Amino acid sequence: MRAPLYLQPRLEPPLTSLLDAVPFLHSLVDGLGSPLNVLLPDRIAENAERFRAVYRKHHLTGRVFFAHKANRSSALVRRLAATGPAEVGIDVASLGELRHVLGAGFTPDRVMGTGPKDPEFLWLAARTGTTVNVDSHSELDQLADLVRKYALPRVHVLLRLAEFETAAGSGVKVLSRRSRFGSPPGEVKALLDAVERHRDAVELIGVGYHLDTTGLAEKAVALERCVMVMDECHARGLAPRVIDIGGGFGVGYVADAGQWARYTTELTNAVLGTRPALTWRGHGYGLRNEGGTLRGALGLYPAHRPSVGPGYLDDLLSLPSRSLGRPLGTVLLEQLYELYTEPGRALVDQCGLTLARVLDVRSTGTGPPLARLGMNAGDVSLEEHGVLVDPVLLPRTESSRAEKSEEDNPAGVDVHLVGNLCLEADLITRRTVFLPRLPRPGDLLAFANTAGYAMDFHAHAAQRQPIARKVAVVQDGDAWRWCLDEEYWPITYPGGVVS
Ligand SMILES: *Cc1c(COP(=O)(O)O)cnc(C)c1O
């Protein structure tokens, strides 16, 4: 019998102890319904501290801005608002997010507005003294007009740059992917002219980028380009002091490098037909078999990576600059530039999980059985982001927990996880999932590490299926306490931990 192709999740405290609290998690779903999102607000503060430690290692000042769009939670934002005010900020990408963070306790000097902006968003940012990360020349003009028209205070701005290229060793151009955001190199001169023209309305504090890639080399090229644009600014008599390197530090979802390597190899074999299918209807995740030749590219998130999150930031800052030879972190330090980062996914690493009840398990004529869950693909959008990782099975009853080890099948069982929509395409994942045993109705499946983009980004109310509630949980000695996400505040009442 073939060995099961597990992709077991990387789990760290406090997520590990939360997953051990099986009756507690069942009682939450019994009371609040399936699906249910559970957040660990204390962990986001810990993650921010880990990023800060990398700043300290490289002797850099500046700020870590949480990219709010990764999760709508209030608990996470309020918990972060309570951390080292000078060092941790928040990046908002809509009017709604800006209003939310101001109400969660972030003072405007800790807030930065990025992304596409409507006039109301720009007005509230300018009115409150929020920094604006300017996406384009026209946005800068619009902001300056608003400031003058409504007699608003002068706004701190950063300029977002895009489309970076350089002469690599062989003379080959390395071009970062096209982006709909940011100003390309050809526009920088005109942009700086506009900054000078709008001096009465805006103050340039820095330049930056956000690249939606895991490529370290691409980011190093972009950082160097920012240093050059800073030089241009200073030559003009402008005085920016910040370089903002955006987000995209990444998360490791799968614990074991070997499992990940085996899975991707076997997936390739399955696409080539040299082993049985590993997916619903032979889906290839971007790979296809053309007459025995493998074509296409694997469109999966690299779920196991040696360096993610703060470690990835450390690697980037340690990389030698192509033009100056010294590490990029040293280049920033020499110029006394402040470093801004905007981690989204990486800052909510290990900050939560999504629970779903198993409703039905049925065998099919051919292929693995179907386990139908009290959730749909929009409720846990790991698949949407190409993240493949196993859920954790949480048996319903004490007896099934006790039997667990006897029932566990060394070969594992393979199942397809299907959702609660009346729709063929509603699969939680198209991957055939291996579990230690077949789940039973009433069991829970816990999808770990879903706080980054997987909880609410794609959730919808189709078919009037319930949208997952969110709860925040805090460990209190051996016990867990919970509250609705919107009821969480980072305070303790006299007499013990309440929230
Ligand atoms: C989405 C986004 C981020 C966060 O990206 P992650 O990959 O989640 O770290 C940061 N900055 C900007 C401008 C973004 O759009």
The mean pLDDT of 78-87, rounded to a whole number, is 90
- Asked whether 136 lines ligand 1 (CB < 6 A), one says no
Tokens of 71: 């999760």
- Alpha carbon 415 to its chain's center: 27
Query: Cα angle vertex 329, ends 328, 332, to 5°?
Result: 90
The mean pLDDT of 326-352, rounded to a whole number, is 98
pLDDT tops 90 at residue 401: no
What 8-state DSSP symbol labels residue 327? B
pLDDT digits 0-9 by tens, 136-151: 999 999 999 999 999 9
Average of per-residue pLDDT values in the chain: 93
The domains of the chain, with CATH numbers, are 15-40+350-498 (2.40.37.10), 41-251+301-348 (3.20.20.10), 257-296 (no CATH)
CA distances from 387 to 87, 448, 454, 490 (A): 31, 12, 9, 31
Q: What is the pLDDT of residue 397?
A: 84
How much is the pTM?
0.95
Residue whose CA is at the smallest distance from ligand 1 atom 7: 248
What 8-state DSSP symbol labels residue 150? T
Ligand 1 atom closest to the CA of 346, numbered from 1 = 9
SS (H, E, C) 167-207: ECCCCCEEECCCCCCCECHHHHHHHHHHHHHCCCCEEEEEE
Q: What is the pLDDT of residue 297?
A: 95
Is the distance from CB of 377 to CB of 426 less than 8 angstroms?
Answer: yes
- Asked whether 202 lines ligand 1 (CB < 6 A), one says no
171 pLDDT tier (thresholds 50, 70, 90): low
Closest to 254 (Cα-Cα) out of 240, 267, 264, 269:
264
Residue 312 identity (one-letter amino acid): Y
pLDDT tops 60 at residue 167: no
Tokens of 269: 């074999």
Query: Considering the chain, what percentage of its residues have pLDDT values greater than 70?
Result: 95
pLDDT digits 0-9 by tens, 3-23: 899 999 999 999 999 999 999
How many angstroms is it from 69 CA to the middle of ligand 1?
Answer: 8
How many angstroms is it from 67 CA to the middle of ligand 1?
Answer: 6
Q: What is the pLDDT of residue 180?
A: 85
**Adjacent-strand bridge partners of 38:** 353, 471
Between 409 and 75, whose confidence is greater?
Answer: 75
Q: Which of 163-167, 376-380, 473-477 has the lowest mean pLDDT?
A: 163-167
- Asked whether 68 lines ligand 1 (CB < 6 A), one says no
CA distances from 196 to 136, 192, 260, 324, 356 (A): 15, 6, 52, 29, 55
The mean pLDDT of 397-418, rounded to a whole number, is 77
pLDDT tops 70 at residue 178: yes
Strand pairing of 36-39 and 469-476?
Answer: parallel
Local structure of 434: helix, strand or coil: strand
The C-alpha atoms of residue 32 and residue 16 are separated, in whole angstroms, by 22
